[in-house]
């Protein structure tokens, strides 16, 4: 009997390990049960991933926090988390160059010069390589209509502050305009930009500057998804 129990325990442990190894890295960061069942601050973790390190500076994102909204807790949060896990995994599988993170109720996608979607020096038009990957992401967003998207542009510290602010604005708006040109509703998108003010890496190195020249996307549940989850869970 003890041997049988031991074998069952080993089997369960093995299955658990296989499941964990099979999960995509985005959902490993924050699975739906862990994140959905806890009520957190108003999009604080997502906001930090979108803006970068220097949140005390100008443009620290108060209005972005309002756009992102609060984290849904309880059973409704778990239901939302499962849907967002599925979407994050699909993005990670179909756009392997992007950095995909599941944070709070949302998904943060980061594109920089090392991740397949990039802009030529001092330019903000979507080039052919970026077009291909952004088209894939647009198609995924169409499959999940109950989400909104926050697009945020950044630059490195090379050049004048005012120029970099305008460049980050143009690049973020280029991404948003690309998505709406693919048939996605403009009301789903909020666009913002920070120029060189919110670095995530060291601007004194070429590698750091490449990481700072980036566009972030936060994909978040809209009110319909939240209301539907509350109804399904009996919390409304």
Q: Is 62 within the bounds of a domain?
A: yes
Q: Is 15 within the bounds of a domain?
A: no
Kindly give the parts of the chain with pLDDT less than 50. Answer: 1-23, 30-42, 55-59
CA Rg value for the chain: 19
**Residue 96: per-residue pLDDT:** 80
Q: What is the pTM of this model?
A: 0.80
**What tokens does 127 get?**
């080039």
Q: CATH number of the domain that 172 lies in?
A: 3.30.1330.60
Q: Is 204 within the bounds of a domain?
A: yes
Contact 218/150 with Cβ under 8 angstroms?
Answer: yes
Q: Is 168 within the bounds of a domain?
A: yes
- Measured at the CA of 93, the angle between CA 206 and CA 178, to 5 degrees, comes to 65
**Residue 79: per-residue pLDDT:** 94
**Residue 26: per-residue pLDDT:** 61
Q: Is 12 within the bounds of a domain?
A: no
Q: Is 161 within the bounds of a domain?
A: yes
**Residue 53: per-residue pLDDT:** 64
**Residue 22: per-residue pLDDT:** 39
Q: Is 109 within the bounds of a domain?
A: yes
CA distance 174 to 7: 57
Give 72-119 pLDDT, tens digit per residue.
889 999 999 999 999 999 999 998 878 899 998 999 998 877 776 777
Q: Is 9 within the bounds of a domain?
A: no
How many domains, in total, are found in the chain? 1
**Residue 56: per-residue pLDDT:** 44
Domain limits at 182? 25-233
């Amino acid at each position: 009997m003890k041997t049988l129990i031991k074998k069952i325990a080993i089997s369960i442990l093995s299955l658990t390990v296989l499941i964990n190894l099979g999960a995509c890295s985005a959902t490993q960061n924050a699975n739906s049960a862990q994140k959905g069942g806890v009520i957190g601050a108003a999009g604080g973790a997502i906001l930090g991933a979108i803006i970068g390190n220097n949140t005390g500076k100008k443009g620290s994102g108060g209005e972005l926090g309002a756009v992102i909204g609060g984290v849904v807790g309880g059973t409704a949060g778990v239901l939302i988390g499962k849907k967002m896990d599925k979407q994050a995994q699909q993005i990670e599988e179909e756009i392997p160059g992007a950095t995909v993170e599941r944070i709070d109720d949302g998904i943060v996608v980061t594109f920089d010069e090392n991740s397949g979607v990039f802009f030529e020096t001092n330019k903000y038009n979507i080039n052919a390589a970026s077009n291909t990957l952004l088209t894939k992401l647009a198609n995924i967003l169409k499959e999940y209509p109950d989400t909104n998207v926050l697009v945020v542009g950044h630059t490195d510290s090379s050049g004048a502050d005012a120029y970099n602010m305008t460049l980050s604005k143009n690049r973020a708006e280029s991404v948003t305009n690309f998505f709406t040109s693919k048939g996605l509703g403009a009301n789903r998108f909020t666009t913002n930009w920070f120029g060189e003010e919110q670095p995530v890496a060291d601007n004194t190195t070429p590698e750091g500057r490449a990481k700072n020249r980036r566009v972030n996307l936060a994909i978040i549940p809209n009110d319909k998804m939240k209301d539907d989850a509350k109804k399904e869970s009996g919390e409304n």
